[in-house]
């Protein structure tokens, strides 16, 4: 039986309030980013497979010891894959270094199912990578222009002084760890952790990934040779490019997990239609 208030009538259920959370520009650039980043990652792994090792400095190979290497060693019946980071070697047979293709074991850095194209083709991988890299840059410039002109960065992403205090950041970390997400008025805006994460990706990781990608291009180096000096050599730029790319992958994994845990349908609806449901403090998500 429903609870009865003092007047004998059942209590009113809190209503959901729908707000416009994402503009059409934000939504379109977001989904184009999803496409570009996915294909950039897959084509990037294809390119990496041509020489699955990373070095610091200007040159790699020729006796230089890599700080990261994906390799395979011969076995009696099959090759065995390994990932070496410094002096630490991790067995990765079946995924990295050695994987099955059409029922046959193959020595390969990243597996065929994770790369574009699936077969080993450096030239094709570079074409895929360069096309979607420039599409990604154009899409990013549109987002940045909109963000500054429409006040999106100032209004939605710039944290206040109170939000970035150690006490508040620690509180938000604890709340996220306990899977307690904002409701009511607090859900109308991003929290401090979201703002800092987005700003880190937009203004540090993505520009760094772009700059190091350009540094690896001999054509760009011919016109802007200072890039090689700035990053300490082409191999260092390649290593930073690899680290930033996988840092963005880690961000995406956490982002998707938070989207699911905090309300998949509500979050997806807001990024497709722009409408986001605000629930009261006492209402379940």
pLDDT score of 59: 76
Backbone dihedral region for residue 102 (phi beyond 0: left; psi -120 to 50: alpha; all else: beta): left
CATH of 17-49+115-278, one of 1.10.510.10, 3.30.1360.40, 1.20.950.20, 3.30.499.10: 1.20.950.20
Bridge partners of residue 83, in order along the sequence: 70, 90
Q: What are the phi and psi torsion angles at 201 (to 5°)?
A: -70, -50
Bridge partners of residue 18, in order along the sequence: 277
Residue 79's Cα: distance from chain center in Å? 32
pLDDT score of 14: 56
- Where along the chain do its domains lie? 17-49+115-278, 54-111
pLDDT digits (tens, 9 = 90+) for 202-213: 999 999 999 999
pTM for the structure as a whole: 0.87
pLDDT score of 285: 43
SS (H, E, C) the chain: CCCCCCCCCCCCCCCCEEEECCCHHHHHHHHHHHHHHHHHHHHHHHHHCCCCEECCCCCCCCCCCCCEEEEEECCCCCCEEEEEECCEEEECCCCCEEEEECCEEEEECCCHHHCCCCCCCHHHHHHHHHHHHHHHHHHHHHHHHHHHHCCHHHHHHCCCCCCCCHHHHHHHHHHHHCCCCCCHHHHHCCCHHHHHHHHHHHHHHHHHHHHHHHHCCHHHHHHCCHHHHHHCCHHHHHHHHHHHHHHHHHHHHHHHHHHHHCCHHHHHHHHHCCEEEECCCCCCC
Backbone dihedral region for residue 23 (phi beyond 0: left; psi -120 to 50: alpha; all else: beta): beta
pLDDT score of 249: 96
For the chain, 285 residues long, give each residue's pLDDT as a single digit of tens. 445 555 555 555 556 788 888 899 999 999 999 999 999 999 999 999 999 999 998 877 655 789 999 999 998 889 999 999 999 999 999 999 999 988 899 999 999 999 999 999 999 999 999 999 999 999 999 999 999 999 988 888 999 999 999 999 999 999 988 988 888 778 888 899 999 999 999 999 999 999 999 999 888 888 999 999 999 999 999 999 999 999 999 999 999 999 999 889 999 999 999 999 887 655 544
Residue 244: CA count within 13 A, CB half-sphere: 22
């Amino acid at each position: 039986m429903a609870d009865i208030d003092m007047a004998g009538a059942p209590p009113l259920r809190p209503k959901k309030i729908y707000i416009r959370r994402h503009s059409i520009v934000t939504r379109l650039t977001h989904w184009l980013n999803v496409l570009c980043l996915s294909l950039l990652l897959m084509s990037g792994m294809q390119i990496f497979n041509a020489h699955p090792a990373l070095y610091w400095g200007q040159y790699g190979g020729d006796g230089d010891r890599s700080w990261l290497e994906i390799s395979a060693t011969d076995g009696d019946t099959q090759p065995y894959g390994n990932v070496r980071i410094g002096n630490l070697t991790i067995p990765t047979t079946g995924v990295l270094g050695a994987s099955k293709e059409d029922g046959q074991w193959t020595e390969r850095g990243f597996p065929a199912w994770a790369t574009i194209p699936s077969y080993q083709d450096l030239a094709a991988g570079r074409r895929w990578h360069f096309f979607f890299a420039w599409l990604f840059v154009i899409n990013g410039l549109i987002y940045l222009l909109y963000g500054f002109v429409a006040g999106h960065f100032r209004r939605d992403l710039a944290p206040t002084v109170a939000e970035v205090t150690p006490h508040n950041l620690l509180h938000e970390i604890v709340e996220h760890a306990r899977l307690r997400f904002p409701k009511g008025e607090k859900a109308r805006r991003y929290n401090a952790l979201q703002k800092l994460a987005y700003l880190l990706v937009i203004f540090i990781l993505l520009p760094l990934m772009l700059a190091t990608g350009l540094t690896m291009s001999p054509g760009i180096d011919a016109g802007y040779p200072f890039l090689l000096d700035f990053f300490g050599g082409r191999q260092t730029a390649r290593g930073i490019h690899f680290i930033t790319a996988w840092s963005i992958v880690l961000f995406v994994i956490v982002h998707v997990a938070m989207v699911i845990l905090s309300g998949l349908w509500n979050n997806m609806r807001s990024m497709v239609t722009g409408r986001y449901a605000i629930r009261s403090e006492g209402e379940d998500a």
